[in-house]
């Protein structure tokens, strides 16, 4: 059983399009995250949700909009895609919001904008 | 602010060699420290963690000790295998509410037989 799953695994699209990435966790966790990994493999937090509430919103263009329909799902919608959005996007979840909780990561979605 | 600094890679070793990957941190509070590993084409997996000073995290032959006095969390393994080839990330998290991981830039390890 996959703990944190993401769809799609690969996404190739053109500039200006709108796309969504879906994330689901079956661990019963309360907190979910989106991270972006750039071409140099640097990872940075984008958003965090706890019990469907947004609790972290880093400096991310407002073309990116997360949505959490329930505790087990956190989707990422991106409007008007740009070349610079090309990256690998990772979803993660943790049992709580305390700093000592381990985060479990999904396999990633490689987004390529042409 | 909070940040993590890792040694630059790539690190290239022969099988059974000793591995050290240095990691130092800056934190405004009292952080928890983590090492994550990313195998080619996969997501990140927690390798080990430590939540207070002098704690030693260990897993799969890897070890790291939380050193508050030197603000370090160096990763070590006594004898690496080809299967250890991956990217290793040191990370920290601080605080209670909405804590995200702050990652170092990653160190690529390549082990040859």
CA dihedral B81, A41, A49, A28 (to 10 degrees): -20
Q: State residue B6's pLDDT score.
A: 95
Q: State residue B96's pLDDT score.
A: 60
Q: State residue A58's pLDDT score.
A: 80
- Three-class secondary structure of residue B67 per DSSP: strand
Cβ–Cβ of B96/A99 closer than 8 Å? yes
Q: State residue A55's pLDDT score.
A: 82
pLDDT digits (tens, 9 = 90+) for B61-97: 999 999 999 999 999 999 999 999 999 999 998 866 5
- Opening angle at CA B59, ends B24 and B28, nearest 5: 30
Average pLDDT of the residues of chain A: 92
* Separation between Cα atoms, residue A40 and residue A56, nearest integer Å: 24
The strand pairing partners of B4, in sequence order, are: B25
From chain A, pick out residues whose CB is under 8 angstroms from the CB of B45. Answer: 105
CA distance B108 to chain A (A): 10
Kindly identify which residue of chain A lies nearest to residue B51, measuring between CA atoms.
A100
Is residue B22 over pLDDT 60?
yes
Low-confidence ranges of chain A (pLDDT < 50): none
Nearest to B26 by CA among B65, B62, B73, B58: B73
Is residue B98 over pLDDT 60?
no
From chain A, pick out residues whose CB is under 8 angstroms from the CB of B100. Answer: 33, 45, 48, 56, 58
């Amino acid at each position: 059983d996959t703990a944190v799953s993401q769809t799609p695994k690969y996404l190739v699209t053109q500039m200006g399009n709108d796309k969504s990435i879906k994330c689901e966790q079956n661990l019963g966790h309360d907190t979910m995250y989106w991270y972006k990994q750039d071409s140099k493999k640097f990872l940075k937090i984008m958003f965090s949700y706890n019990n469907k509430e947004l609790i972290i919103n880093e400096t991310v263009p407002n073309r990116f909009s997360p949505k959490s329909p329930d505790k087990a799902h956190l989707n990422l919608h991106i409007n008007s895609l740009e070349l610079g959005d090309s990256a690998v996007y990772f979803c993660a979840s943790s049992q709580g919001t305390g700093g000592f909780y381990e985060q479990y990561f999904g396999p990633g979605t490689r987004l390529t904008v042409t | 602010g909070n940040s993590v600094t890792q040694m630059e890679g790539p690190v290239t070793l022969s099988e059974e060699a000793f591995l050290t990957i240095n990691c130092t941190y800056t934190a405004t509070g009292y952080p928890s420290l983590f090492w994550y590993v990313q195998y080619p084409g996969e997501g990140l997996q927690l390798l080990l963690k430590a939540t207070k000073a002098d704690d030693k995290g260990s897993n799969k032959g890897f070890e790291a000790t939380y050193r508050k006095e030197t603000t370090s969390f160096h990763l070590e393994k006594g004898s690496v295998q080809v299967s250890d080839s991956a990217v290793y990330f040191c990370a920290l998290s601080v605080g209670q509410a909405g804590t995200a991981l702050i990652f170092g830039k990653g160190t690529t390890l390549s082990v040859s037989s």
